[in-house]
Every structure is written in C-alpha cells, then in structure tokens.
Structure 1
Amino acid sequence: MVAVFNKELLSWYLITVKLREAVASGVATTPNSTPSSAGFPERSQQLLQKQQQKPLGSLQIVMRNDGKNCEEDREDNPPESEWVISIKEKLDQARQDDAASSWAKLCIYRIPHYLKEGHDKAFVPQIVSLGPYHHGKRRLRQMDRHKWRALHQILTRTNHDIMLYLDAVKEVEERARNCYEGSITLSSNEFVEMMVLDCCFVLELFRGAAEGFKQLGYPRNDPIFAMRGSMHSIQRDMIMLENQLPLFILDRLLGIQLGNPDQKGVVAKLTLQFFDPLMPTDEPLTKSDMNKLQLSLGYATTFDPLSDQGGLHCLDVFRRSLLRRGLQPEPRIWIKRWSHGNRVADKRRQQLIHCVTELREAGIKFKKRKTDRFWDIKFKNGILKIPRLLIHDGTKSLFLNLISFEQCHLDCSNDITSYVVFMDNLINSHQDVGYLHYCGIIEHWLGSDAEVADLFNRLCQEVVFDINNSYLSRLSEDVNRYYNHRWNAWRASLKHKYFGNPWAIISLIAAVVLLLLTFAQTFYGVYGYYNPR
C-alpha cells in the first residue's frame, strides 16, 4: 500500500489514471508520442510504467482516518495465511506425538476429566507435589524448603557433591521424560533439579519410616521428618497417580547414597513399609492360618510381589503388593468369542451380582474369610465368603487412583476395578453395609453406614468395566445361577418366616404335632367304619 502525502504526487497520480483510461478507450498512445510525458520527472515515469503493468481495478483510492488518501494494492497471489501455517504446525506436532517411542515407556498419567469430576481432592495433592504435573503450584510451595533440607541432610551425611546426583539424573533424563504424559515445559536443568529434589525428599521419608528419623539426623520435633499426624496426609498425596516418580530414578539415587548404584528392589520394599498404614485390611493371621491358606492355594512358599523387580512407580508397587497371589482363576467368557473379538467394554454389562438384601432372600449366606487379601472372595454351597475390608478416610483416594491407573495403563489387569465393581453391586443401601458389618466383612471409621454405601456407589460412576475380563466373572456366574434357582428362594423364605426365632419354631412344631394328631384321628375313624370289630 502506497500512501500519497503531497499534492504534486497526487496530481501525477491523476494524470496516470487519465492516461490509463485513454489506453482503455482505444486511443493509440505511446510514451514517445505523449507530449506531456517528455517533461515527466524520472520518478513519475517509473510510477506510470509500474501502474500500466497492473490490471485496471487493482488500484483503489482509500481514505485514511486522518483524511489522507492511500493506495491499496491487492495482490493476485497472497502469501500463505496464518491459519494454514497453524494447521501445518499442529500436524507436525501430531506426527511427533504419534511416534512409537513417545508411548512405549509412558506409565505416569494425567487423570482423565471424566474420572476426576467430583473427586478432585482424591487426585490433586494437598501438601506436597512430586513430579512435573503439579510442580510450582503456589499452595504447594511451602514443602519446597523441606525438600531442600532433605537434600542438604543427605549431602552432609554422605559427604557427596551435588553434581554426583545431578549427573546421575542427567544421564536418564530422556527416559524419565518419556514416563510422563504430554510435553513437559521445564527446561533440561529445571527438570533434572526437580527430579533430584523430589526423589531425595521421598527417599528420606522412606528411610526415616523404616530406620527412624533420629538415626538420619533429624530432631524429634521436626515438623515434617517425624511421625506426626501430617505424615498421613503426606502418604495420601504420595500415593496419587499424578504425583509419582519413576522407580528407576529412586533406585539410582538410593544406590548412590548406599554406595551400590546397581542395587534394585530396596526402594520397593521401603515403599511397602511406608505405605502400610494405607492398606485396606489389617486382618491378623496366625501361623496355622497362614499355612492352611498357602496349602489351599497350592503352594507352600510365600509369594513375593517384588521378586520380578518390575515396578514402574510407588503406586504400581503398592498395587502389586495388594494383589500378591498364586494361581488365579481364568475369567469366564460370557459372550461368544467370535461375536466380539476386540470389542469395547459395554457400560450396560457391569452388573456382576445382586445386592446383599436380594441374595439373602435367595438363601445365600455371608461369612468372613480369614485372609489378609481383601480381594480373595469364594463361593461354595450357597455361602459367599468375603475377606475383611477396612475403610478409613484415605480408602476413597487409594481406590480411585488404583482404578485410574488400571484404566489408563494398557499392560495392567483390572483386578482392583473388578473387586470395587463387585462390592458396588453388593452394596445398594446402608442396610447392606450394616449386614456386612454384622458379619465382620466391613469395618469402617466413617460417620455412618450410609457414607460407606455412598462411597462404593460413587467409586465407579464413570468407569467402563469389561465384565468378561474380571477374575470374579466365574464366581458371579455361580452366585447368579444359585440365585435364579427357585427352590433356594422358597427354602430361604420358609426358613426366614418360620425359623427366624425360637417362638416361631415352637409354634411350627406345635402346628405340625396338631396336624399329625388330626390326621391320625381321621384315619382311625375311617378305618373303624369299614373294619368294625
């Protein structure tokens, strides 16, 4: 766009327009034959030649806001628009995200919004942030000074230089970044610093819980590194899926502290000791009960969930310890394999079993099973044996993060989800919770049985669960088959109505005796009539 700022240039421009109109009307005019063109200044002649090369209508006189005229030049081939450039940039980013290497080591996920809705406190840390997802949040910065204290204590105790830890994490930075979902905006130095600081803080907590914080050099009245009430809140934050650190970095840094960089498995064992208060069961087993349990499962040695040393992070290690087992039953395929080879889980088929009240009406009994594995449920001869489950204020957050990990991680079974869905089907009301509590199956520290029922009914609201991949599918099929047998329901109804209390039993016996006497009297009266003496 060429702006016209003086009257002389405007006059030359008007002459140029007149010449163009003459050319358009067919008047034969050449630069050499134009009398007035000989006296044109050189600049005006160049302007005339430039304008004659453009089509008529490609120039417009546009009034500017300040009252001056300007020339708008419309190009026939405009440059590539910003819209097209942005689309190409997005496609390039999609190509990078679609690379196989970016998904292979992903194990620490962001919670999907459909799972997080209504349960924000169960997924968002309240005291301490670990990893990049919640790094730098204002309300979590208070813990940073204690992280630096932990790092300083480690360096003082081991006489190590900080560069030893920074270099160790720097070597595996790319591998650590691949563990997290999406791009991490932190620079290389910021990411390495965050990893060293957070990992050393976690290791100090683990070692302090196992060896004693006093042995590590912390005073007994330390606000963080002491077994105070705030430790429970810290544990609950550290078990969240978005607050995890790669286990191999924890192993690497602890190995440097202990003088054995290649050691593995120590952090996993420290993890179980630290998170033991969050276990959803505290059923004590005697030695004889343990031997009977192991013999019933078909193996005589204790199963070690950490023997393969394949943990991804602390939440994964904790989940493996919950699911320690020998042989597990194969899931029952309820639908023909050929009909749905790799189908999407159907939200309509998540009903594994009926509720407690309905099962009791069908004659099914409930008993507590003596085992420390809360998921190990058995059914035989109309008796459903369920291990004891302890519910406290951290159970909701624990189960939600375990379920979210199973929903997000492809190489992960859905055993915790199967158990929670099964219990959700059993519990429909506070009466169901009350009866399970009466049987010793559920023990809770919440305000009422109604809160426990609401907890289970809300845990799997947005969870899509495949009933065919549940380890409880075969057991549920056996229970439903027993439930659908009418004779079992009739027998249960008879027992409930006439054998519910001692007075009902006495009344029933008296009625039966009276009926027998009446039948005998009738028999002898008819017999004497036809066979008199």
Structure 2
Amino acid sequence: MANNDTRDIELEPTKQTWDKDIETRGEDSCRSKIVTVEVDSLMPSKGARVPHVDTDLEAGKQAMTEEAEMARRRRWSRSVLISKVRDQVRAGDVNSYTPHSVSIGPYHASCSSPRIEKEKLCCVGFFQSLSEDQIKGGLTGLAEKLEPLARACYPDGVGHMTPEELSTMLLRDGCFLLACMVDYQRGNNADKKLAHSSTGKDGDPAQTVGGDVQDGGSFSGGDNNTVVRDTVFLVENQIPFFVLQKIHERVTGDTTSSALESIADYVQEVLQVQLYISKHRRPAPALTPPTPHLLHLLHFYLQPTSPPPAMEENAARPRTGRWRRATEYCKYGNVRFKRQVFQDNEKWTFLDVRLQGGTLWVPRLRVDGMTWTVLRNLMALEEQISRRPVTAYCLFMSQVAGTVEDVKLLVHSGIVEHFLASDEQVAQGFADLCKGVVMDVDNIDRNYLMPMWHEMQERCENRVHRFMGWFCQFKNIVIIIVLLVALIIIACQVTQTFYAVSSSRGGQPPKH
C-alpha cells in the first residue's frame, strides 16, 4: 500500500525552506535577545509578576512561530485566492455569479438544493469506503488539516464559519466535485458524453455512487447543464484545488498520483462541447504552482494560440479607443467579416481573432443561455491576474455587435450562432456584457487585440478604403438602379419599334 502522506501541498518550490528559514531566524533572534531586568530592593508585592528570562524567551519563540504560520497562510492566499466579484461588476447581472442548485465553497452555502446536499453525503460515504481500503481511517481528519490553509484562500467572508463547519464543507464539496469529474471505479476521467443522470425512478437521487454507476461511472445530480454551470464556471463557487488533490491521494493511496490529469480532460470536454476550443487534446498544466481552482484550469485552456503582433514604439501613436460597430467597419474601412473555419487537426480557441488584409477572421461564437455567465465569470477571474484575453475579446464583441443591425451582419457571416429568441436579445446581451468592467486597453500584455484595433482604425481613416467601403455598401442599390434603367430603355425601344411598324403599315396604299 502506498504511503498516504497528509502533508500540505507545496504551492511553491521554496515553501518549506522559506518556513524553515523563518523559524531559524526567529530562534536565533530569541537566543541573541538581551533582556534587562531591574530588580527592586524591596520584595515584590503579593500577586505581582516576577520577570523571568526563560519565560520571555519561550513567549517570544511562540510569537515568532505564530507569525511564521500567519506569513505562510498569507503567501498561500496570494497564490490561491477565491474572492467575491466587485459590486460594480455584479450589478451587471447578479444571476450570472449565483449558483442555481449546487453550492461549492462558503460564499453561496444557502443556494444548494436539498437533493444536492444529499448527494454530497453519498459522495463522502463512497470516498470514505474507497480510502479506507488504502489507509486506516480513510478521510478522517484530512479536512481538519487543510482547513487553516483553505480559510486563507477566502478573503471575503468566512469569519462566520467555525473550523468544524468549514472542514465539513470542504470535505463534502471536494468529494462531490471528484465524483462528478473522475471515475474511480474505472480509473479514468468522467464519461465524455457529459449527459449523465443520477436520478433514479420516481425522480429520487439514484444511490449509484458506491454501487452501479451508469454512463461511465461519473456522478452528477440533477440537470447536468446546471451542475456544469455551477461547479466549473462560477468564480465565487470554488474550493482550492489542493483540497481535491489531497482527497484524491487518500482515495487512490498514491501521493504521486495527480487528480489534475482526469479533471483536465473533463474541463476540456466541457469547453469543446461549447465550441470554445478545438478537439485537440492539450496537456494538463504543471502542478507547481498548482492550479488554484477549476475556473483557473478552464482559463488556462482558453488562451489565444497565436501571440499578438509586435508593435513599434511610437510616441505619436494615438491612444486605443473603443471599437466601431461591425457595420461601420464595413462602410468606412471596407472590412469584411468572415467566420474562421479551422482544420480538424488545428489547435484553436474562440479568442483567435485575426485581421488579414481587409478580412477580419473571427471564430464562431455560440450564444445560448450559458454564454453570458461563462464570459462574465472569466472576466471577473481575470481581474485577479495580469493577462486578460477574455476581457479584451468581450470588449471587442460588446462594441462590435452591440446593435441589432450588427448582430444580423455577424449572424449572416456565420460568426455568431445564437439560440435566443431574437437578434434583439443577442444585441442587448452583448451591449450589457462589459458593464462595470475596467481594463487598460493600451497595455498589450492585457489587451491582445490592441494592434488589430489600430490597424482597423487606420483603414477607416484611409480615403481609398472609405470610398471602397461606401461603394460596397451601395453597390447593390446601384446595380438595381442600372437594371431598372436598362429595362426601361428596352421597354421604350420595343414600344418605339412597335409603333414604327404599325405606322409604316398604316401608310401603305390599299391593295386592289
């Protein structure tokens, strides 16, 4: 049986050395501390505290140890941070950040349905039985050891939860997520169909976690689309990934085994179904530092495949402004919007927008009831990191496709494929997408589309392109007018010929 070590996951390679150095410095400083004690000639009064060098040294050592532990937790919180969305961003659409039925983590604990909570308990029982086969006690005591580090990952409101409450929540949510995404009965990732059901007869939750598991062995309760939405895409509905990893180690009995490989396959399948990435399998990211939570893993797979073109330093270059409407780019810049079609073996994401000559190639974006939720939560996540490609893309689409006329153009070109009731709803969704979002659009490290904005702006300011765009906009009308004039001329010629023939016949002398 493999050794089941319950040590903390090493978020950074120098973590243990760093802690050791702090403790050593603390001990050295305590040893070298000079304590001066003034002793009164009189005897101390009853109940007075008598200073003692050894006691002060021990107290100082304890204080240094506590400070080192707090510093370690603060360092973890900087690497693994699960924050609430800013109020200005949340005001755009509160529903996009709130789980519908599955609560993960402490921020939305009251949103979880009773059926889901029952399924979480089933998952805990299932994983406890598996882990007991690997180590005595199974999962007992694991969550309590992870609780202090996990608490440091939630800066916005876990003070009301006791250590026992937070530990219980971590264990239940962690087991539920692993049961949804990893098939421990077959040793591989969850079923690729993403269409499982854990409801048995009469609509009750099927007790299949520890028994027969249908459709590949994964476990997900209720409507699967809702489960995926709540567990993967919501930035506030997360737990640290190291919790999943430590549960996985207990269940498999192997401290070298990584849960990330199987979960990464699951996340890629989710993105492929939504047409966000190609069906080109990508490797899982490295565990050092580990992926903070599932939405970070999803964001890892959504990076543009091609780096932005380099821009020369030009002090006279104007600042980056807002995007024009799609119809304006066609009219004033002679820009043609076309859907980017990729080969089967090509690696791509929906962020791979490129301008080639006068053609703007944009991958297809499928707009449905989940699209705004996915994009909003990814933008909220990017406020915590330096690179913001999803935010740059959303700013682009919200301004290019913010009216019904523009949406019709993009739908006609195949760039937007929507399943909403009308083009008006799509246009309104794009227009409201970036409410409250703030980004430095002149920073190319954040805005990968900045070079393309300047290139398209130059086209719109070029007289030749403006004329060609105007001509292309009205060429259909010109053709119709020319055709009507030609028909009128032909009709006049036919009429004139008819009357000429009739007149010539009428002028002839009658035959005898």
TM-score category, normalised to shorter length: 0.5 to 0.7
Q: Which residue is equivalent to 1:413?
A: 387
SS at match of 2:362: strand
Partners of 2:336 and 2:325 in 1: CA distance: 12
- How big is the shift at 1:422? 0.6
Does 2:174 align with 1:199?
yes
Does 2:83 align with 1:123?
no
Cα distance change, pair 369–270 in 1 and its aligned pair in 2 (3 A)? closer
Q: Which residue is equivalent to 1:493?
A: 470
Residues 413-456 of structure 1: per-residue CA shift (max 9 Å, x gap) = 11100000011110121111111011010001111111111111
Cα distance change, pair 263–225 in 1 and its aligned pair in 2 (3 A)? closer
Q: Which residue is equivalent to 1:54?
A: none
- How big is the shift at 1:125? 1.1
- How big is the shift at 1:262? 2.7
* Alignment map for 1:148-227 (pairs within 5 Å): 148-160=121-133, 163-182=137-156, 184-185=158-159, 186-207=161-182, 210-211=190-191, 217-218=211-212, 225=219
Partners of 2:79 and 2:118 in 1: CA distance: 31
Are the aligned partners of 2:276 and 2:302 in contact in 1 as well (CA < 8 Å)?
no
What is the identity, as a one-letter code, of the residue corresponding to 1:276? Answer: L
Partners of 2:251 and 2:398 in 1: CA distance: 45
Partners of 2:442 and 2:407 in 1: CA distance: 27
Select which of 357, 361, 366 maps to 2:337. Answer: 366
What is the identity, as a one-letter code, of the residue corresponding to 1:255? Answer: E
Select which of 310, 317, 324 maps to 1:354. Answer: 324
Aligned length: 383
Residues 141-180 of structure 1: per-residue CA shift (max 9 Å, x gap) = 4421111011112233454479432433333322211111
Partners of 1:252 and 1:328 in 2: CA distance: 38
Cα distance change, pair 108–480 in 1 and its aligned pair in 2 (3 A)? same
Are the aligned partners of 1:169 and 1:196 in contact in 2 as well (CA < 8 Å)?
yes
Select which of 292, 311, 316 maps to 1:312. Answer: 292
Partners of 1:167 and 1:333 in 2: CA distance: 58
Select which of 455, 468, 471 maps to 1:478. Answer: 455
SS at match of 1:434: helix
Q: Which residue is equivalent to 2:399?
A: 425
Select which of 268, 276, 282 maps to 2:271. Answer: 276
Select which of 437, 449, 473 maps to 1:463. Answer: 437
Which structure has more relative contact order (CA 8 Å, sep 6+)? It is 2
- How big is the shift at 1:389? 0.6
Structure 1 unaligned residues grouped into runs of 5+: 1-95, 285-289, 291-301, 340-348, 511-533
Are the aligned partners of 1:388 and 1:441 in contact in 2 as well (CA < 8 Å)?
yes
Select which of 403, 411, 414 maps to 2:379. Answer: 403
Cα distance change, pair 498–507 in 1 and its aligned pair in 2 (3 A)? farther
What is the identity, as a one-letter code, of the residue corresponding to 1:250? Answer: L
Partners of 2:171 and 2:315 in 1: CA distance: 50
Q: Which residue is equivalent to 2:79?
A: 105
* Alignment map for 1:490-529 (pairs within 5 Å): 490-498=467-475, 503=480
What is the identity, as a one-letter code, of the residue corresponding to 1:476? Answer: W
Structure 2 unaligned residues grouped into runs of 5+: 1-69, 184-188, 199-207, 343-347, 488-512
Does 2:301 align with 1:321?
yes
Cα distance change, pair 482–274 in 1 and its aligned pair in 2 (3 A)? closer
Residues 106-146 of structure 1: per-residue CA shift (max 9 Å, x gap) = 421111111111411111112111111122x2764442111
Residues 172-214 of structure 1: per-residue CA shift (max 9 Å, x gap) = 3222111111352322222222111110011101125714777
Partners of 2:427 and 2:314 in 1: CA distance: 28
Are the aligned partners of 1:353 and 1:479 in contact in 2 as well (CA < 8 Å)?
no
* Alignment map for 1:371-382 (pairs within 5 Å): 371=342, 372-382=348-358
Are the aligned partners of 2:88 and 2:436 in contact in 1 as well (CA < 8 Å)?
yes
TM-score by length of 2: 0.66
- How big is the shift at 1:320? 1.0
Q: Which residue is equivalent to 2:17?
A: none
Select which of 364, 373, 382 maps to 1:388. Answer: 364
Partners of 1:138 and 1:502 in 2: CA distance: 60
Partners of 2:226 and 2:341 in 1: CA distance: 30
What is the identity, as a one-letter code, of the residue corresponding to 2:271? Answer: D
Cα distance change, pair 326–163 in 1 and its aligned pair in 2 (3 A)? farther
Are the aligned partners of 1:331 and 1:473 in contact in 2 as well (CA < 8 Å)?
no
- How big is the shift at 1:104? 2.2
Partners of 1:283 and 1:273 in 2: CA distance: 9
Instruction: Report the more deviating stretch, 307-316 or 376-385.
Output: 307-316
- How big is the shift at 1:503? 4.6
- How big is the shift at 1:364? 1.1
- How big is the shift at 1:485? 0.7
- How big is the shift at 1:380? 2.2
Instruction: Report the more deviating stretch, 274-283 or 261-270.
Output: 274-283
Are the aligned partners of 2:320 and 2:454 in contact in 1 as well (CA < 8 Å)?
no
Q: Which residue is equivalent to 1:261?
A: 255
Instruction: Report the more deviating stretch, 373-382 or 139-148.
Output: 139-148
Q: Which residue is equivalent to 2:235?
A: 241
Partners of 1:364 and 1:509 in 2: CA distance: 31
What is the identity, as a one-letter code, of the residue corresponding to 2:292? Answer: L
SS at match of 1:443: strand
Partners of 1:335 and 1:468 in 2: CA distance: 13
Cα distance change, pair 193–236 in 1 and its aligned pair in 2 (3 A)? same
What is the identity, as a one-letter code, of the residue corresponding to 1:383? Answer: T
SS at match of 2:166: helix
SS at match of 1:367: strand
Residues 341-368 of structure 1: per-residue CA shift (max 9 Å, x gap) = xxxxxxxx87442101111112111111
Partners of 1:240 and 1:249 in 2: CA distance: 18
Cα distance change, pair 129–314 in 1 and its aligned pair in 2 (3 A)? same
Partners of 2:249 and 2:96 in 1: CA distance: 32
What is the identity, as a one-letter code, of the residue corresponding to 2:87? Answer: H
Name which one, 1 or 2, has greater alpha-carbon Rg.
Answer: 1
Q: Which residue is equivalent to 1:50?
A: none
Cα distance change, pair 167–236 in 1 and its aligned pair in 2 (3 A)? same
Partners of 2:124 and 2:220 in 1: CA distance: 16
Are the aligned partners of 1:125 and 1:243 in contact in 2 as well (CA < 8 Å)?
yes
Are the aligned partners of 2:335 and 2:359 in contact in 1 as well (CA < 8 Å)?
yes
- How big is the shift at 1:312? 1.3
Q: Once superposed, what is the RMSD of the aligned Cα atoms?
A: 3.5
Instruction: Report the more deviating stretch, 162-171 or 352-361.
Output: 162-171
